[in-house]
A and B are shown apart, each in its own frame.
Chain A
Amino acid sequence: MIESNAMKEQIISILQDILPGEDVTESTTLADDGRIDSLAVVELVTEFSIAFDVEIPFSDLVNENFNSAEAMEAMILRLQQGT
Chain B
Amino acid sequence: MRPGISKILAACAAWGDKTAFLDCSGASLSFAQLHELSLRLGTAFRHMLKGATGRPIAVVADRSVRCIPVLLGAALSGSFYVPLDGSLPEARRRAMLAAIQPELVVGLAEGTSEAGFRYISVDELYGTLPDADELPPVDGDMPLYGIFTSGSTGFSKLVLKSYAALMSFIKAYIETFGFSERDVLGSQIPFSFDASTKDLYTPLACGASTLIIDKGYFAQPGRLAELLRDQRVTSIVWVPSALSMLSRFGVLGHISLPDLKRVLFVGEQMPVRQLNIWREALPDALFANLYGVSENAGNCLYHVVEKSYGEDERIPLGKPFPGTQVLLLDEAGAIIPPDQPDLQGELCIGGEILALSYYNDPEATASKFVPGPPGVGRIYHTGDLARYDEAGDLVFCSRRDHQIKLHGYRIELGDIECAALACPGVDAACCLFDPGKKKLTLCYAGASGEAALRTHLKGALPAYMAPGSLVRLEKMPLNANGKTDRVALARRYCGGGDVP
Chain A positions within 8 Å of B, measured between CB atoms, are 14, 17-18, 31-32, 34, 36-43, 45-47, 49-50, 57-59, 61-63, 66
Complexed CA–CA distance, A41 and B475 (Å): 11
Please measure, in the bound complex, the distance between the C-alpha atom of A18 and the C-alpha atom of B473, giving whole angstroms. 10
Query: Smallest distance from the beta carbon of A45 to chain B beta carbons, Å?
Result: 8
The reply on B245 being an interface residue by CB < 8 A is yes
The reply to whether A43 and B474 contact each other, CB–CB distance below 8 Å, is yes
Chain A CB within 8 A of B305 CB? no
Residues of chain A with a CB closer than 8 A to B474's CB: 14, 17-18, 43, 47
Contacting pair B219 A40 (CB below 8 A): yes
- A61→B215 contact, CB < 8 A: no
Shortest Cβ distance from A7 into chain B, in angstroms? 18
Query: Within the assembled complex, what's the spacing in Å between the Cα atoms of A63 and B245?
Result: 15
Asked if B392 CB lies within 8 Å of chain A CBs, one says no
Q: Does B139 contact A (CB under 8 A)?
A: no
CB pair A46–B427 under 8 Å, yes or no, is: yes
How many Å from the CB of B438 to the closest CB on chain A?
31
Give me 7 A-to-B residue pairs in the complex whose CB atoms sit less than 8 angstroms apart, sorted by A's number. Answer: A17-B475, A31-B219, A38-B219, A41-B245, A58-B249, A59-B222, A63-B219
Kindly list 4 other residue pairs between chains A and B, CB separation below 8 angstroms, not including A43-B445, A61-B219: A36-B219, A43-B474, A58-B249, A58-B251
Is B241 in contact with chain A by the CB < 8 A criterion?
A: yes
* CB of B177, distance to nearest CB on chain A (Å): 26
Listed from nearest, the 7 A-B pairs whose CB atoms lie closest are A38-B218, A58-B249, A38-B219, A43-B475, A41-B219, A58-B222, A58-B251
Candidates A14, A47, A50, A63; contact of B220 at CB < 8 Å: A63
Tell me if A37 and B445 are in contact (CB < 8 A).
no
Interface residue total, chain B, C-beta cutoff 8 A:
24
Contact A50 B447, CB 8 Å, known A38-B241, A58-B251, A58-B254:
yes
The total number of A-B Cβ pairs within 8 Å is 62
Q: Are B219 and A46 in contact (CB under 8 A)?
A: no
Main secondary structure of the interface of A (DSSP, over half): helix
Residue of A nearest to B475 (CB): A43
Interface residues of B in 121-138 (CB under 8 A from A): none
Separation of A27 and B294 alpha carbons in the complex (Å): 38
B216 within 8 A of A: yes
Given contacts A34-B215, A57-B250, contact A46 B446 (CB under 8 A): yes
The minimal Cβ–Cβ distance linking A79 to chain B, given in whole angstroms, is 14
B423 CB to closest chain A CB (Å) equals: 14
Which chain A residues border B250 with CB–CB below 8 Å? 57-58
Whether, in the assembled complex, B242 has its beta carbon less than 8 Å from a beta carbon of chain A, the answer is: yes
Interface residue ranges of B442-457 to A (CB < 8 Å): 445-447
A31 to B195, CA, bound (A): 26
Residues of chain B within 8 A (CB-CB) of A46 are 427, 445-447
Q: Do A66 and B447 touch (CB < 8 A)?
A: no
Contacts of B445 in A (CB 8 A): 43, 46
Given A43-B475, A58-B249, A34:B216 Cβ within 8 A:
yes
Point out the residues of chain B lying under 8 angstroms from A39, CB to CB: 241, 475, 478
Cβ distance A82 to chain B, nearest Cβ, rounded Å: 16
Contacts of A63 in B (CB 8 A): 216, 219-220
Chain A residues closer than 8 Å to B248, beta-carbon distance: 42
CA distance A36 to B218 in the complex (A): 11
Decide yes or no whether B140 CB sits under 8 A from chain A: no
Please, how many angstroms separate the alpha-carbon atoms of A36 and B220 in the complex?
Answer: 11
CA–CA, A66 to B216, complex, Å?
12
Q: Does B87 contact A (CB under 8 A)?
A: yes
